[in-house]
Copies of this chain bind each other. A is one copy, B any other.
Amino acid sequence: MVVKVYGTAYASPKRVLVCLIEKGIEFETVPIDLIKGEHKSPEYLQLQPFGAVPVIQDGDYTLYESRAIIRYYAEKYKSQGTELLGKTIEERGLVEQWLEVEAQNYHPPIYNLTLHILFAPALGFPPDEKVIKESEEKLAKVLDIYEDRLSKSKYLAGEFFSLADLSHLPFTQYLVGPMNKEYLIKSRKHVSAWWDNISNRPSWKKVLQL
């Protein structure tokens, strides 16, 4: 069964794509145009009532929320492709901890930067300079804590690549690329080495080529 992934032009669905590639799972992509409002169509809202991307369909199983989808496939295909949840329950606990840190601490400021720097023009509202400044300060503080963590272990959850690292790829790519804020990463030695490492994985390069 080929997995259908909706909305893959955007960042969050790319979490799902990189996970599927790491696990060696076949998929096809279904475009959803947020600018045209396709995520608010009645058909789409049947799949994802909050009108967000991504959604996956896998036979008659439908699932949304990118971090839920990547946990589902990492568990369902545990013994296939890259192990993304750690080997023990204790390692998985740390993967979950850093996935939550990404979702609760890293994502809100980087999402605000993305929205106000990259998408405000297309969405027709003026970028809020105060939000941009505060978000960058918040993100810098989070990255200081990452720097300390990554001085002690190669990856966020330990000595193994996991969903916790993977989940950072799409929005950090916006940060170092179109947002021109690579200095936030490069100025921190261990964060910089970690980013070079995870962003050079063949799975991520493949996602960027899609």
Interface size class of A (residues with CB under 8 A): 20 to 34
- What DSSP secondary structure best describes chain A's contact surface? helix
Copies per complex of this chain: 2
The distance from the CB of A124 to the nearest CB of chain B, in whole angstroms, is: 19
Binds B, one of A20-28, A30-38, A59-67, A196-204: A59-67
Asked if A71 CB lies within 8 Å of chain B CBs, one says: yes
Tell whether, in the assembled complex, residue A101 and residue B63 are in contact, meaning their CB atoms are under 8 Å apart.
Answer: no
Tell whether, in the assembled complex, residue A100 and residue B149 are in contact, meaning their CB atoms are under 8 Å apart.
Answer: no
Distance in angstroms between the alpha carbons of A71 and B68 in the assembled complex: 13
Proximity string of chain A (79-103) to chain B, C-beta cutoff 8 Å, 1 when within and 0 when not: 0000000000110111011011101
Residue of B nearest to A101 (CB): B65
Are A90 and B61 also in contact (CB < 8 A) when A49-B145, A49-B148 are?
Answer: yes
Residue of B nearest to A144 (CB): B49
Residue of B nearest to A56 (CB): B93
Are A105 and B50 also in contact (CB < 8 A) when A61-B90, A97-B64 are?
Answer: yes
